[in-house]
Structures are given as C-alpha cells and as structure tokens.
Structure 1
Amino acid sequence: MDLAEIFRVMCRRWYVLVPGLLLTAGLTVGAWLLVPVSYESQSTVAMLNSRKGAAADGNPFLSMEPSLTGMADSLARNVNSDASKAELKERGLSLKYEAKIADNAQGPLLWLTVTGEDRPAVLKGNRTLMAFTAQRLNDLQAEQAVPADAMIRITTIVPPQNPEAQLKSKIQNLVMAAGLGIVLSLVATFFAEARRRGRTPAKHRQEPARTPDAEPAPGASAPARPADLGGDLADGLLTGTDGQAGHPAVDPVVDPVVDPAVDPVGDARGDAPDAPPAGEGDRRQPDQPTVQLPVLPVAERRPAKRPPSWVK
C-alpha cells in the first residue's frame, strides 16, 4: 500500500478519522490545562576545611582537601536516607527533594533541590533543607567527638533560587499522548476500511477479464507451433525458405483438418475441401514436403475453401 492508497482510505473513512483526531486534540488541551505545573528550586553549598586546618594560610577556600569531597558524598547519602526524610517531614518539608554532589564539580559542592507544585512551599522547603543539611554535618562530627576547632564547616555558595516551572517533562508527556491518539485514530480508520471490504458482496468485486484464447476448448489440443515441427522446417517457415538452398518455403496456409466425429455440423452440411484441378499435381516438386497444421474446430465457422498447400 503506497501513500496515494493511504490518502484515499483516509478520505473514504473520514467519518472515523476526523472524530478520532478531534477527540485527541480535546484530550491534549484538557490535559495541558488540568495537569499542574511542577516547580523546582535549587541551592548549592560547599564543604570547608576546619578552622584549625585553615589556620596556616587563613583562607579555608585554599585548603580544600580531597577528603572533603568524600565527606560531601557521605553527607548527601545521609540527607537522602529514610530517617532524614521522616525528620524533614516533621519540620514541614513533605515535598520531593534531593541532595547530591554537583555535576562536573571540582570541589566538595552539594546540590540541594526541592520540587513541588506550590511555588512558595518549594522555596520554603529549600531553605529548610539547607538548615537541616548543616545540622546533619555537625551531628555526624559530634558523634565522633571531633573538637570544635577541627570540625568541617559548611557554607552557602548559591542561596535557594526562585522556583522555576518545569515544562519539559509536561510537554513530553503531552506529545506522547497526542501521538498515541493519532495512531489509534489511524488504526481505527484502516480497521473500518478492512471490515467494509470484507462485507462487500462477491458480485460487486471486480475480477480480471479473461481473454477468449487464454484456455483451449474442452477436448481440443493446442495448435502446433513452428518450433514443434523440427529445426530445419521451423527455420524455413521463419526465413522464407524450406531449409534447402534455392527452394522457396512451403506455403504455411493449409486446409483445416476437420474430423467428422469432432465437427458433426460440418459433416451434416457435407462441406469438404475442393479437389485439386486436373493436371496440377504433375507440377508439384517431388522433394517438397507437405505441411499441414491442425486447426481447432470452432462452432459456427465454415472451413476456408482454399486450394491445398501442395498446389502451386
């Protein structure tokens, strides 16, 4: 099935395709209006060396050791645990959040992300998450009895940002739903076309026309072809000679051989081929063969009254 046939089917079954497309468009617009928009707020914090470790140069940003990155990873895992989620829920943060090491970070940087449908609640939740993260860092070090001047500190690099609408995922879902609706409409259209064709009566279906000479008549053999008469004789019929140098070809026009048992109509009429004129047989070449091609008897057809092929 090519594109032209597909277009014709769609035009014939428009009463199935058009309602499906309209229903798909209506559902897509309704989903866009009813599905709420998700907002996201993000902040960034960094791990700093202890006051005792930074006393040498006095700048904690110049003494970021690789061990601080390991501590940032441990803190992120602790904040994402179930126990921390339960504690944050008690503090009023019931939205979805995530703490992880910043992508392509060259230091101990943490991303704190809060996602929700209420913009003020998302911004407030990010601030709560930042305070909880700093407290968890101190609690982890206090459990190990780390002196106060040797504790790792945390500082804010990027404060909680204003929540932004996340339309990418919403648009992707709506596009997938619209595509599914279009596909289902096309499937329904071609299904209706298939059922319609299946119910079409046999007498209304077009059948290929048959030529009268496509099949031989019952009880009759196929006419002989020049190739079946032999190599030399076939070449003579095609080239105009009888296969011998200097001799013309035999006249391929022959009398039809009518069998009275096969053609009772001709036998009843008494039709028979004319006898050769007297004295004409003496001029026949003795070495010239006589060729007779059988002709199928046809109803209501008189045999052609022609002189025999051996008469010149």
Structure 2
Amino acid sequence: MSFLDVIAALGRRWIVTVVGLLATAGLVYGASTIEPPVYTARALVLLVPSEQVVGEGGNPFLALGGLDLPARVVVAYYESDVAKERFSSGSPDAEYVVAIEESTRGPVISVDVTDASAAATLETLELLTSSIPVELERLQEEVDAPKNTVVSTLVLAKDERATIDNSGTVRMVIAAGGIGLVATVVAAVAVDGLVRSRTRGRKQGPTDPAGSDPEAPAPATAGPAGTGSKPAGPNPDAKADAQPADPRSPATKPAKPPTVRLPAVRPPSVQPPASRPADDRALPSWPNLPLDSRDRRRDDAAARASSAESR
C-alpha cells in the first residue's frame, strides 16, 4: 500500500482518524504529566593544599598534584547510602551526583543536583556545597591530621539559577505521539479494508434472493377470477428431463430420414403458355415409394443378380 492509499483510507474513515487523533492528544498529555520537566544546578569545588605544602609565600595552585586522593575520599563518602539519605531527605524528588570533574587534572569535585522545582534544586545544591568543607575537615580530624596539614576547599563555580531540563519529557511525548499516530493509521486502514471487502462481496453476490435456492417454491400465480391463486410447486419431472440421455439406450437411436417428395417437372411439350400461370396440380405426381417398398425392390434385384451368377 502506497502513501497516497494510506491518505485516502484516512480520508474515507475520517471518524476513526479523528478519534485516533484525540486519543493521541490524550496520550501526549498523559506522558507530559507522568514525566514533567526537571531543574538542574551545578557547582565545582576545588581542594586547596595545606600551609605546610604551600609554604610561606607560596602559590597554592602550584601544589595541587597530591590532592587527587583526598578528593576521591570525599566523593566516596557522598556516594554512600548514609550521605544520600541525609542530603536527599529534604525533597523526595531530589537527586544529586558528586564526582571528580574529569575535564580537569586537578582535585576538582563536581556537584550536580536535579529536583522537581527550581527552588528545591538550589536549596539542595547549597546544602551539598556548604557541607563538603565540613565533611572534609571531619575526615581529617578522624585521622588526627595536624592543623598546618589540613586540606581546605574553594568553591570555583556555583549556579545561581536552576536550568530546566525537558529531555525526559520530550522523549516521553515523542514516544506517546508516535504510538498514537501509528495506532490511528493502522486502525483506519484496517477498518477501510474491512468495509471495502464487505461492499465488494455484496456487489458480487446474487441479486435475486429466490434464485439462490433452486428447490425453493415459485411465487403464487394468479388464477381465473373467483378461483383464487395456486402456488406453482416444483416439477418433480424437471430433474429427470434435464438429465442427458444415454446414447446406448434403444430409445435414443436416430430414426430413418423421412421421405422427400420431389417437385413435379413438366416436359417441354406440355409447358403452359406464357399468358396462363403454371399449374402443377394437373401433372401426375412423382412416384415416391415408401421405405419398405424400396428395400424390397433392392433385395429382389440382389436376388436376381445372385441367381444369374449361379447360372
């Protein structure tokens, strides 16, 4: 089936098409409700080396080489179940990811927060960003690190506004719309094919209902006035008459050809004059013997011939 045939089927079954489009619109609305847009926010936190490593008058950014391991320890803590339950309990839809920023070679920790509203997203981001230096200091205190060797943090960047993310909603809407449109086209084409096949079958069927049953009684015929009408029943001898005759039966042997009477011929001497019309009734009839006389004469001639030969 070509594209034009599909379009024609949709036009012929416009009721199915309209119902399918309305159902598709409902699916799209439901998909957008099930998967609403979310808001995201991001922050980057840098680990700064201790005073002992930097030295007096040193540059902290030149001594970032050995801080990759402390950064991974902090990331491991925030990915634990205890930390997730702690920082996600304020909003049931909040999700966050704390990881090492792979785009840089330094000890940079990225914090990505996703929530259902912009305010809740920024609130969770602020909570996580402010807790990183606290948790880092707590971890160092647990190992009794000296004061001059404690690693600190620096917030490199933090979003002040949450960004809306419609990717999930768009995927759900596209999927729902595609399913609805495909179902509409399939339903319209199927209904159109069914209706057209039934119409074609009715056109090809018998037009006379009585002719469909050969043994059905014929309709009643009107009789003479005052006598009523009598239905004409089926003829019991009709089937016997319609059967072909057996050529081997004696009753079906061909009969002898009938005798042909030849016209009378006038000799030239007795032709009537031109002023009088011809009259064949005055002429003697041509001898036309019956069949048995001819056979008898033929047999007699054959007998005479055989007797002559025997002499």
Q: TM-score range by the shorter chain?
A: 0.5 to 0.7
SS at match of 1:52: helix
1:47–1:155 contact (8 Å) kept in structure 2: yes
Aligned match of 1:59: 59
Q: Give the drift of 1:125.
A: 1.3
Whichever residue aligns with residue 41 of structure 1, its letter is: A
2: CA distance between counterparts of 1:2 and 1:71?
65
Whichever residue aligns with residue 4 of structure 2, its letter is: A
Between Structure 1 and Structure 2, which shows a larger proportion of helix residues?
A: 2
What pairs up with 1:163-312 in 2 under 5 angstroms?
A: 163-200=162-199, 202=201, 204-205=203-204
> Closer, same or farther in 2 for the Cα pair 1:93/1:131, shift >3 Å?
farther
Aligned length: 210
Q: Give the drift of 1:165.
A: 1.2
- RMSD after superposition: 3.1
Q: Give the gaps of 5 or more residues in structure 2.
A: 206-246, 248-256, 258-311
2:37–2:168 contact (8 Å) kept in structure 1: no
1: CA distance between counterparts of 2:146 and 2:48?
15
Whichever residue aligns with residue 116 of structure 2, its letter is: E
Q: Give the drift of 1:35.
A: 5.7
Residues 130-184 of structure 1 deviation map (CA, whole Å, 9 limit, x = unaligned): 1222222122222222222112221110134311111232222212211111111
> Closer, same or farther in 2 for the Cα pair 1:30/1:132, shift >3 Å?
same
What pairs up with 1:25-44 in 2 under 5 angstroms?
A: 25-29=25-29, 32=32, 36-44=36-44
Is 1:96 equivalent to 2:95 in the alignment? yes
Residues 269-303 of structure 1 deviation map (CA, whole Å, 9 limit, x = unaligned): xxxxxxxxxxxxxxxxxxxxxxxxxxxxxxxxxxx
Aligned match of 2:307: none
SS at match of 1:42: strand
TM-score (norm: length of structure 1) = 0.59
2:32–2:173 contact (8 Å) kept in structure 1: yes
Aligned match of 2:110: 111
1:127–1:160 contact (8 Å) kept in structure 2: no
Whichever residue aligns with residue 60 of structure 1, its letter is: P
Aligned match of 1:226: none
Identical residues among aligned pairs (%): 26
Aligned match of 1:70: 69
1:79–1:136 contact (8 Å) kept in structure 2: no
Aligned match of 2:3: 3
Q: Give the drift of 1:11.
A: 1.8
Q: Give the gaps of 5 or more residues in structure 1.
A: 207-260, 262-267, 269-312
> Closer, same or farther in 2 for the Cα pair 1:9/1:156, shift >3 Å?
same
Residues 28-69 of structure 1 deviation map (CA, whole Å, 9 limit, x = unaligned): 35654786431112111011211111116511111111x322
Residues 212-235 of structure 1 deviation map (CA, whole Å, 9 limit, x = unaligned): xxxxxxxxxxxxxxxxxxxxxxxx
> Closer, same or farther in 2 for the Cα pair 1:93/1:172, shift >3 Å?
closer
Aligned match of 1:133: 132
Aligned match of 2:13: 13
Q: Give the drift of 1:103.
A: 4.0
TM-score (norm: length of structure 2) = 0.59
